[in-house]
Amino acid sequence: MVIIPPHIENLAPYKPGKPGANMFEDARPEREVVLSSNENNFGPSPKAMEALKRSLNNMNLYPDPTASLLKERLSHLLDVPVSHLLMSNGSDAILYTMFRAFLSGDDSMLTSHAAFVSAKVMARMNNIRCVEVAMTGDHEFDLDGIIASIDDTTKLIYLVNPNNPTGQMMTRTAMDSFLSRVPQHILVVVDEAYCEFARALSGEYPDCTRLGYNNVIVLRTFSKAYGLAGLRLGYAIGPEYLIQALTKVKLTFDPNLAAQAAGLAALDDTAFLDKTIENNTTELQKLNQAYDRLGLKVIPSVANFITIKLKNEAEVENYYHQLLSRGVLTRRLASFGLPYCLRISIGKPDENDYMLRMLEEVMDQ
């Protein structure tokens, strides 16, 4: 029998927001609304769909391993050199590559208790110690606490802005102050998966690629605002020497040909992106008002979801299963360290209206 290393044997895998193909179990609801994984319920952009169809004729060919056309387009849009960009199979693939490129031996990673769990799982995959700092009482990153927790083993700090699953953000002033206190030999990774939504909702949201630090890598994705979650496409922006290190250890033909074609077209579909962001801004306000009217406590969000704070885990389980039986799939957050919270993505207006109607039914029981 092959012996599995203890750190893999004891690893608890990431639990996705969707429970599988039969996500609504045996229920026969009036309709089915998926609000569990912060996806774009408008679907992919029409331009991306057309480009994807055209790319099917080339599926016999290997993709461009450098994703040169996509990086050139992003370079123009973001006003950064091509050499400061890395494309990959989603930002989580870049995270995985970082452990190979930058951490070894007794190095450790530092993050927050209720930050996105994927990075923590990857640390354990790679037998890297992950130190978690509790969030503040307002569910914000305790940046002072993270600075105080830096020790001789700290090699990587992982931040999510805005954070998933809380939706809270760090302002430009707070982020700049934090980064100025981090020693230059420590890599800071800022995951900006929801940046398109946050920029539209707050003038204080920082673009960490513009803060001028040589030890910072920013992660972004096509999975959320661009609606390409199923194709797995993300990118890193950082100093050339860090991007070169990542390039050395990434998979050769990553990202795939279809993802590159759709991503390039999605960047040119500004009308679709504008519609997505406008919907999120409008519906976020509507849902916040509705939750307040229903007497529900929420964590303020600048992302495409809102997290509701309930009394305890038992109440979360009740709400989750009652909504599921009515065709609304949400996300329980025990695996994120928030067992008393339920996260609900922001969908299209009719989906949000249906969810609210079902939520009121559950609360009236």
- SS3 at position 44: coil
pLDDT value at residue 14: 66
User: String of b and e for 18-49 (b: at least 16 CB within 10 Å)?
Assistant: eeeeeebeeeeeeeebbbbbbbbbeebbebbb
Give CA–CA dist 96/138, Å, rounded.
30
Domain residues of the chain, as ranges? 15-38+271-364, 46-269
Q: What is the CA radius of gyration of the chain?
A: 21
pLDDT confidence bin for 17, thresholds 50/70/90:
low
Phi, psi dihedral angles at 24 (to 5 degrees): -100, 15
Closest C-alpha among 302, 306, 353 to residue 328: 353
Q: Please, where are the H alpha helices in 154-233? A: 172-181, 195-201
Q: Using one digit for the tens of pLDDT, what is the confidence trace for 182-192? A: 999 999 999 99
Instruction: Note if the bond before 255 is cis, omega within 30 degrees.
Output: yes
Count of CB atoms situated within 10 Å of the CB of 72: 13
pLDDT value at residue 361: 96
**Single-letter residue type at 74:** L
| pTM reported for the whole predicted model | 0.94
Please state which CATH number belongs to domain 15-38+271-364.
3.90.1150.10
Phi, psi dihedral angles at 280 (to 5 degrees): -65, -45
Strands (E) located in 145-215: 154-160, 187-191
pLDDT value at residue 8: 83
CATH topology assigned to domain 46-269: Aspartate Aminotransferase; domain 2 (3.40.640)
Name the DSSP class of 300: -
For 49, residues 6+ apart whose C-beta sits below 8 A from its C-beta are: 262
Name the DSSP class of 145: H
- SS3 at position 150: coil
User: Percent of the chain at pLDDT above 90?
Assistant: 88
pLDDT value at residue 25: 66
Ranking 13-22, 150-159, 204-213, 350-359 by mean pLDDT, the lowest is 13-22
pLDDT at 15 over 90: no
Q: Are 167 and 345 in contact (CB under 8 A)?
A: no
